[in-house]
């Protein structure tokens, strides 16, 4: 992750002077292209690391990583789209979760929800880890208090992974629905649980 920060700083340092040469929009497009491709390479690295841990076979993990790089949907990873960043954050979070760095994993999973709304599904990994640890605490270690603590911490971590999605929905509701009369509101604004994402996907995709 330190590499990512250094890359972004270097990118801003080298691209800002180009604004006066090729224009602001062209620089934004170039920056997006570079960020996406670097994110894709880092996602492949984390994919390899996760595969090594799960498969316990570096050769098989390497072959799986090659297939990941040359999959039919690879066009989404090299174009100006959020798939590369989402893959990087999700695979990075999964790697750190398996490695025992749960707090880092929660942060990356939460950020993946900023890249794509289905990042909330990464909370499933946290739920599985929480239930597994709670099972060990109750049935193997015979410590009910430890199980309760594990469940509380796990619930808080899952909530953290949902925060970006909830924040985006609240932002959309405030900007589109807030302050308008019922007649002026879009249909999704009147729903019991107003979800901007599901409305856009069902009507415009």
pLDDT value at 127 more than 90: yes
- And the tokens for 85? 């960043």
pLDDT value at 9 more than 60: no
How far is the CA of 78 from the CAs of 25, 41, 155, 172, in angstroms?
Answer: 18, 10, 35, 28
For residue 75, give the DSSP letter: H
Better-predicted residue by pLDDT, 29 or 81: 81
The pLDDT value recorded for residue 101 is 92
44, 37 in Cβ contact below 8 A? no
Percent pLDDT > 70 in the chain is 85
pTM score, whole prediction: 0.82
- 89 contact partners, CB below 8 Å, separation of at least 6: 108, 109, 111, 112, 115, 119
Provide mean pLDDT across the span 136-163: 88
3-state secondary structure at position 180: coil
Distance CA 39, CA 84 (A): 6
């Amino acid at each position: 992750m330190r590499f990512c920060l250094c890359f972004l700083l270097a990118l801003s340092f080298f691209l800002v002077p180009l604004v006066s040469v090729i224009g602001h929009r062209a620089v934004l497009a170039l920056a997006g292209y570079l960020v996406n491709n670097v994110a894709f390479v880092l996602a492949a690295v984390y994919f390899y690391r996760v595969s090594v841990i799960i498969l316990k076979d570096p050769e098989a993990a390497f072959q799986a990583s090659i297939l990941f790089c040359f999959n039919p949907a690879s066009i989404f990873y090299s174009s100006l789209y959020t798939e590369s960043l989402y893959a990087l954050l999700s695979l990075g979070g999964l790697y750190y979760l398996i490695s025992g760095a749960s707090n880092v994993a929660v942060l990356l999973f939460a950020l993946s929800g900023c890249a794509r709304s289905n990042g909330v599904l990464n909370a499933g990994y946290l739920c599985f880890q929480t239930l597994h640890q709670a099972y060990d605490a109750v049935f193997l270690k015979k410590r009910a208090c430890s199980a309760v603590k594990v469940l509380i911490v796990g619930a808080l971590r899952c909530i953290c992974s949902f925060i970006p999605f909830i924040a985006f929905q609240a932002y959309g509701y405030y900007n589109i629905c807030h302050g308008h009369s019922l007649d002026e509101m879009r249909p999704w604004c009147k729903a019991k649980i107003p979800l901007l994402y599901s409305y856009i996907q069902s009507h415009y995709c």
